Amino acid sequence: MTPPIEYGTVIRLSPLVRRITQNNPGLYPGPGTNTHLIGTDDLVILDPGEDRDDGHLDRIVAAVGAARVAAVIPSHGHPDHWPLATKLAARVEAPIGFFGNHPGFRTDLSLGDGDLVTAGRLTLAAVHTPGHLGDHLSFLLEDEGALFPGDVVMGWSSSIIAPPEGDLGDYLRSLDRLEAIPNLTVGYPAHGPAVTQPYHRIRELRAHRAMRTRQVLEALDAGPSTIAAMVATIYRDIDPALHPGAALSVRAHLLHLERDRVVRHSGGGPGWESAVWERIG
Ligand SMILES: [Zn+2]
């Protein structure tokens, strides 16, 4: 049994992993941002969360206690993950690690694919997993077969892929890369409870995208179409308030199919509203 999400409590997930969930639920953070503290006397802290006046910072600092913090690392540059990084890093006197640079904070420790972050005897391996966002890093804690997949592999939802920052082809390749890591026993995502069957979940997420791709192609089999018309068909059973997000997802699938020369578009407009898509393959 994996512990449910609780706000403001330090939840022990394993001998080396603790989780504090920020009370910031919403469309993107879903049930809230999970801040993970990894290690015992020496720690790495993933995803500090949002900078709001809710005690999250104090709770993280209290959970750190007398431990040394080797790095504070936002998994990617979305605003539910990084804004607390600067204040937290100052409080626990640690560098901020990140993939490349971000305009919102200073990166002390530039991390790339395959880089190792060490804290005492603890080692985390960075895996570059773009798709949700180009700067997204996942982390592997080999000692526990634990994967920290950020927003790429979550149990409660698929990832939002919003072009141009999001890229479905990159996302699918990132799933392949994570699936190829041997001996994973658990995933600790940045939102929602632990993923207890990581390989199974990765395959489900891939199958979900394949289903959406089929639906987009079926919609186009009826003739050339705009994204809005495709969304109205494919998502007719969901709340129209979610249709703008669905339109981004359909766009991500279309751009991926266009790169593979299966579809093409004419026209456009800033939000692709007037683009007409058709099947060519
Ligand atoms: Zn995100």
**Could you give the domains of the chain?**
10-196 (3.60.15.10), 208-279 (1.10.10.10)
Tokens 């910072």 belong to 57
pLDDT at 109 over 80: yes
Stretch 66-94: mean pLDDT, rounded?
A: 98
The conformation of residue 257, written as its DSSP 8-state character, comes to H
Share of the chain above pLDDT 90, in %: 88
Q: Give the Å distance between the CA of 126 and the centre of ligand 1.
A: 17
Q: CA-CA distance, 240 to 227, in Å (whole number)?
A: 14
Q: Give the Å distance between the CA of 232 and the centre of ligand 1.
A: 26
Q: Angle 168-179/243-259 helices, nearest 10 degrees?
A: 80
pLDDT at 29 over 90: no
Q: Give the Å distance between the CA of 222 and the centre of ligand 1.
A: 34
pLDDT at 126 over 90: yes
- Report which of residues 152 and 30 the model is more confident about: 152
pLDDT of residue 28: 74
Q: pTM of the prediction?
A: 0.95
Q: Give the Å distance between the CA of 281 and the centre of ligand 1.
A: 33
Q: Give the Å distance between the CA of 247 and the centre of ligand 1.
A: 18
pLDDT at 274 over 90: no
Q: Give the Å distance between the CA of 152 and the centre of ligand 1.
A: 8
pLDDT of residue 26: 86
Residue type (1 letter), 51: D
pLDDT single digits (tens) 172-201: 999 999 999 999 999 999 999 999 999 999
Residue 18: helix, strand or coil by DSSP?
A: strand
Q: Give the Å distance between the CA of 174 and the centre of ligand 1.
A: 15
Residues 187 and 276: beta-carbon distance below 8 Å: no
pLDDT band (50, 70, 90) for residue 35? very high
pLDDT of residue 272: 79
